[in-house]
């Protein structure tokens, strides 16, 4: 068929070839034409030659919607301009296809990230796979910090930047101790992700840790110990023995909260804390003194299962709510005792304290009772001081008799104190030594 100026009418008039494809070239724009296949499919093409290279042909698009003769001609003109500039339309198309493929791959990656590496999802995986296994004593605290961060990290962990972390840490500037714990939790999460190959590099890598917080020195006074003991009785049949056992054994909060009856030998008055639940990974034997035994016997003894539980499946939780109620009851008791001494109850305040301070309070009083440091460390299951280094390697003695004697002294000390708790004491500085 002869070449002619391409119009809609002239293209419509092109018949279907019996054999090979036929080409009709436009007489006004060189290289612009229409190809018709044996099936009657028509498409606009552009044939051109780059300098020093053989002729090439590129398809613009099919005849019809969206390509009309006019739009196809304009596209051909646009491409011819680029050809004169030395830009090959075939190469341009290849680059366009590659860019489109790259865009689609990036979108697919982001979809995978949104499902697998989204901070919310990944943090939960980290809690289950790492924290619960390796941070048995503090994983719930770390989980709470990660949950608090979720609204601020609505993105993939791969998209979280160093600036994002710094901005989040700034929210804790008024709580330096918490800020350091948040930094530690995030550092472990991103290092774990890097070790697994989920990240090329942690965004927190080489970031300076917040300054260390001065060690807490809060020790409850004798009056406060009395208040804790009696206030616990007003929090119910589960919280009362839990709080009192913290004071009697000096064990950690989570260790007591997740105590299992299988760990307790009531006949021998001994609590065997397994290595997997101990902070230092070493099994720990805690002699149960008279007050501890009394509290445990107030509970229903089962052959196994959690000692302190509301569900039967997990140890007790809700410490913040309990602590708030405990503080309120303590303040009432302290003010009542102050009033009975003839003093002004409105002047009494309860300085902030934590459940962990009960551990320090007991330790301080053991030292006042003359208990040797190495025995105190054994009670706390510490690997430091006299039980660290060479001594810790060669001295495998666990001081069970000495621990029992020390905790019995502490029990008598507490018993004298709380038995006389109805009578206000003037001296609130130190728990008195038992006679």
The domain boundary residue, chosen from 86, 101, 133: 86
Check residue 77 and give its pLDDT.
95
* Assigned domain for 371 exists: yes
The reply to whether 106 falls in a domain is no
Is the residue at 377 inside a domain? yes
- Nearest-angstrom CA–CA distance, 239 and 395: 38
Q: Are residues 356 and 273 in the same domain?
A: yes
The residue among 227, 225, 250 whose CA lies nearest residue 371 is: 250
Within a domain: 407? yes
- pLDDT tens digits, 334-344: 999 999 999 99
Q: Is residue 52 one of the residues assigned to a domain?
A: yes
Highest averaged pLDDT of the listed ranges 89-98, 111-120, 130-139, 298-307: 298-307
Judgement on whether residues 257 and 299 belong to the same structural domain of the protein: yes
CATH of the domain at 397: 1.10.443.10
**112 against 271, higher pLDDT:** 271
- For residues 125 and 191, membership in a common domain is answered with yes
Peptide bond into 27 cis (omega under 30): no
176 and 244 part of one domain: no
The answer on 35 and 124 residing in a single domain is no
- Predicted confidence at residue 1, as pLDDT, reads 67
Domain membership of residue 394 (yes or no) is: yes
Query: Do residues 275 and 414 share a domain?
Result: yes
Is 37 within a domain?
yes
Pair 434, 416: CB distance under 8 Å: yes
pTM over 0.85: no
pLDDT per residue as tens digits for the range 318-339: 999 999 999 999 999 999 999 9
Which of 256, 220, 217, 261 lies closest to 240, judged by CA?
Answer: 256
Nearest to 189 by CA among 150, 157, 153, 151: 157
39-73 pLDDT tens trace: 999 999 999 998 888 999 999 999 998 899 999 99
Q: Which of 60-69, 208-217, 371-380 has the lowest mean pLDDT?
A: 208-217
Compute the distance between CA of residue 167 and CA of residue 428 in angstroms, rounded to an integer: 44
Check whether residue 139 and residue 248 sit in a common domain: no
- Is the pLDDT higher at 273 or at 112? 273
Q: Which two tokens stand for residue 378?
A: 């054994």
Instruction: Give the number of domains in the chain.
Output: 3
- Distance, in Å, from the CA atom of 195 to the CA atom of 205, rounded to the nearest integer, reads 13
Q: What confidence category does residue 429 fall into, taking pLDDT thresholds of 50, 70 and 90?
A: very low
Q: Kindly tell me if the per-residue pLDDT of 390 is higher than 60.
A: no
Q: How far is the C-alpha of 178 from the C-alpha of 326, rounded, in Å? A: 22
Over the range 369-407, which residues count as b (16 or more CB within 10 Å of their CB) and which as e? bebeebbbbbbbbbeeebbeeeeeeeeeeebeebbbebb
Whole-angstrom distance, CA of residue 406 vs CA of residue 225:
18
Please write the tens of the pLDDT for every residue from 403-416.
Answer: 999 999 999 999 99
The pLDDT confidence band at residue 424, using thresholds 50, 70 and 90, is: very low
Q: Which domain holds residue 55?
A: 8-86
Domain boundary among 71, 86, 101: 86
User: Are residues 81 and 145 part of one domain?
Assistant: no
Q: Where are the alpha helices (DSSP H) in 216-318?
A: 222-232, 239-249, 253-257, 290-297
Mean pLDDT of the chain: 89
Task: Look up residue 9 and give its two tokens.
Answer: 């009418």
Backbone angles phi, psi at 156, to 5 degrees: -70, 150
Tell whether 332 and 384 lie within a shared domain: yes
Has residue 428 been placed in a domain? no
pLDDT over threshold 70, residue 426: no
Which tokens go with 396?
Answer: 């495998």
Q: 80 and 134: one domain?
A: no
143 and 278 both lie in a single domain: no
Whether 139 and 288 share a structural domain? no
């Amino acid at each position: 068929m002869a070449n002619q100026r391409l119009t809609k009418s002239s293209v419509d008039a092109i018949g279907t070839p019996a054999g090979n494809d036929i080409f009709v070239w436009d007489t006004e724009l060189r290289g612009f034409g229409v190809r018709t296949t044996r099936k009657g499919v028509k498409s606009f093409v552009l044939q051109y030659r780059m300098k020093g290279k053989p002729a090439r042909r590129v398809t613009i698009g099919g005849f019809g919607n969206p390509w009309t003769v006019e739009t196809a001609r304009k596209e051909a003109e646009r491409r011819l301009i680029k050809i004169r500039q030395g830009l090959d339309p075939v190469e341009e198309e290849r680059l366009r296809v590659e860019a489109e493929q790259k865009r689609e791959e990036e979108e697919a990656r982001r979809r995978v990230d949104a499902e697998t590496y989204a901070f919310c999802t990944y943090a939960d995986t980290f809690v289950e796979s790492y924290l619960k296994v390796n941070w048995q004593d503090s994983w719930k605290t770390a989980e709470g910090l990660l949950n608090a961060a979720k609204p601020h990290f609505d993105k993939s962990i791969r998209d979280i930047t160093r600036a994002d972390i710094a901005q989040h840490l700034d929210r804790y500037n008024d709580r330096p101790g918490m800020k350091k714990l948040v930094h530690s939790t995030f550092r472990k999460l991103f290092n774990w992700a890097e070790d697994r190959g989920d990240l090329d590099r942690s965004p927190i890598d080489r970031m300076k840790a917040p300054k260390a917080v001065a060690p807490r020195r809060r020790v409850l006074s004798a009056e406060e110990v009395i208040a804790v003991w009696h206030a616990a009785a007003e929090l119910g049949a589960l919280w009362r023995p839990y709080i009192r056992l913290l004071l009697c054994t000096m064990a950690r909060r989570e260790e007591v909260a997740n105590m299992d009856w299988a760990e307790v030998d009531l006949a021998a008055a001994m609590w065997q804390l397994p290595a997997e639940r101990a902070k230092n990974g070493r099994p720990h034997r805690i002699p149960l003194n008279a007050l501890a035994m009394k509290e445990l016997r107030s509970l229903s003894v089962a052959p196994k299962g959690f000692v302190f539980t509301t569900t039967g499946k997990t140890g007790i939780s809700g410490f913040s709510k309990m602590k708030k109620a405990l503080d309120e009851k303590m303040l009432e008791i302290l003010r009542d005792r102050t009033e009975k001494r003839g003093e002004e109850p409105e002047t009494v305040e309860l300085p902030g304290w934590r459940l962990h301070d009960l551990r320090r309070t007991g330790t301080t009083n053991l030292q006042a009772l003359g208990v040797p440091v190495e025995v105190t460390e054994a009670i706390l299951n510490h690997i430091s001081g006299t039980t660290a280094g060479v001594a810790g390697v060669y001295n495998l003695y666990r001081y069970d008799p000495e621990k029992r004697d020390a905790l019995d002294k502490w029990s008598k000390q507490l018993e004298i104190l709380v038995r006389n708790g109805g009578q206000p004491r003037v001296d609130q500085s130190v728990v008195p030594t038992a006679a």
